[in-house]
Amino acid sequence: MTNEEKILSLMEKMYIEFSNRFEKIEQIQKEFSSRLGQTQKEFSDRFERMEQTQQEFSHRLEESDRINGERYAEFSNRFKEIDERHKEFINRFEKIEANMATKKDIAEIKEKHVEFENRFEKIEANMATKDDVAEIKEKLARIEEDHGRKIAALFDAREVQFDINNRIMDSLERIENKLDKISLRVAYHDDVLRKVR
């Protein structure tokens, strides 16, 4: 075999080997392109899902803000109503206190009653006839009965006022407890919203 034939044979072998290698490289490149395409599609799908999730999350946040805003407005209206009722109760109490008799008034009535009794005793001592004494006793009995009714009415009104005051204090305590619970819920929602943002 001549040198030229050896060189040609060697070149043919090299050509065949390079051709095989190029085919393998092309095959690898096709596989890589296919995998790259799949990877890009997967990334694209994931990004789409992430965008959908973000949109859903944004929608939920907006809905939560709207609901919280409505609840805040409702609570504000209720607090205004409570304030108005509280002012109304205070006005009623002031009117009742203005119309109620005090201990001083009752003491003055008792002093006047004692004074009337003393005067009647003096009159009875100076009276000469039984008819005059009977008339004075009758007047005194009417005065005592009238004063007794007035004093009893004053004490009854004071007891009723104490009962009303106790009921109002109980109502105010319940309202304060509810306000504390509402404040805790609002603080919890605010904390949740801050964490979500």
More confident residue, 129 or 139: 139
The 3 state secondary structure assigned to 143-173 is: HHHHHHHHHHHHHHHHHHHHHHHHHHHHHHH
Are 114 and 162 in contact, with CB atoms under 8 Å apart?
no
Number of other CB atoms surrounding residue 172 within 10 Å = 13
| Distance of alpha carbon 37 from the chain centroid | 56
Residue with tokens 């006047």: 112
Between helix 3-99 and helix 130-196 the angle, nearest 10°, is 170
> What value does the mean pLDDT take over residues 52-80?
80
Distance CA(179)–CA(172), nearest Å, equals: 10
Residues contacting residue 143 through CB under 8 Å, at least 6 positions apart: 113, 116
Query: What does the pLDDT look like over 148-162, one tens digit per residue?
Result: 888 888 888 888 888
| Phi, psi angles (nearest 5°) of residue 77 | -65, -40
Between the two ends of the chain, the Cα-to-Cα distance in Å is 84
pTM of the full structure = 0.27
| Closest CA relative to residue 82, chosen from 160, 182, 166 | 182
Domain boundaries defined on the chain: 1-86, 100-197
Query: What does the pLDDT look like over 171-182, one tens digit per residue?
Result: 999 999 989 889
Distance CA(124)–CA(37), nearest Å, equals: 127
Distance CA(124)–CA(144), nearest Å, equals: 16
Are 151 and 109 in contact, with CB atoms under 8 Å apart?
yes
More confident residue, 138 or 93: 138
pLDDT at 59: 84
Query: What does the pLDDT look like over 99-111, one tens digit per residue?
Result: 665 667 777 777 7
